[in-house]
């Protein structure tokens, strides 16, 4: 990754501040472990303004578009905006491979 021009960033040392660190750094790709994904999910869920049916529809459309090579959907500004901003606004991929992740 470094040969390709990637940069390494270090967090402030407080795991509870990691989401703020990510918003400051504005990463495009994050290699991550499932435990942190669960933590982020728990942190962001209380701020969700979307009901379950709308969220499921948005994920379905986003995934179908992704399979077609389309990286946007009509739900980007309404459903996904807050989560995108929480990670700095430029995040393209989160990669995990250390353990299975929960649905």
In this predicted structure, the answer to whether residue 51 has a pLDDT above a threshold of 90 is: no
Tokens 């989560």 sit on residue: 83
User: Is residue 78 situated within a structural domain?
Assistant: yes
Quick check: is 100 in a domain?
no
State pTM to two decimals: 0.68
pLDDT at 61: 95
Residue 50: both structure tokens together: 């979307």
Q: Is residue 103 part of a domain?
A: no
Q: How many domains does the chain have?
A: 1
79 exposure class (CB count in 10 Å sphere: 0-12, 13-18, 19+) = buried
Is residue 9 a part of any domain in this protein? no
Query: Is pLDDT at 70 greater than 90 in this prediction?
Result: yes
Residue ranges in 1-103 assigned as alpha helix (H)? 18-25, 34-44, 52-67, 81-86
Residue 33: inside a domain: yes
Beta bridge partners of 95: 31
Average of per-residue pLDDT values in the chain:
85
In a domain, 101, yes or no: no
Question: Domain containing 41: what range?
Answer: 15-95
Query: What are the tokens at 88?
Result: 């700095």
Domain assignment present for residue 10? The answer is no
**In-domain check, residue 56:** yes
**Could you tell me which of 26, 25, 2, 21 has the C-alpha nearest to residue 91?**
26
Q: What is the mean pLDDT of residues 17-44?
A: 87
**Is there a contact between 23 and 86 (Cβ–Cβ < 8 Å)?**
yes
């Amino acid at each position: 990754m470094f040969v390709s021009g990637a940069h390494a960033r270090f967090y402030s040392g407080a795991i509870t501040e990691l989401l703020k660190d990510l918003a400051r750094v504005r990463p495009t790709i994050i290699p991550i472990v499932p435990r942190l994904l669960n933590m982020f999910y728990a942190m962001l869920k209380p701020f969700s303004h979307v009901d379950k049916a709308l969220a499921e529809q948005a994920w379905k459309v986003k995934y179908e578009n992704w399979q077609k090579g389309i990286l946007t959907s009509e739900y980007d500004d309404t459903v996904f905006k807050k989560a995108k901003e929480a990670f700095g606004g430029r995040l393209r991929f989160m990669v995990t491979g250390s353990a299975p992740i929960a649905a």
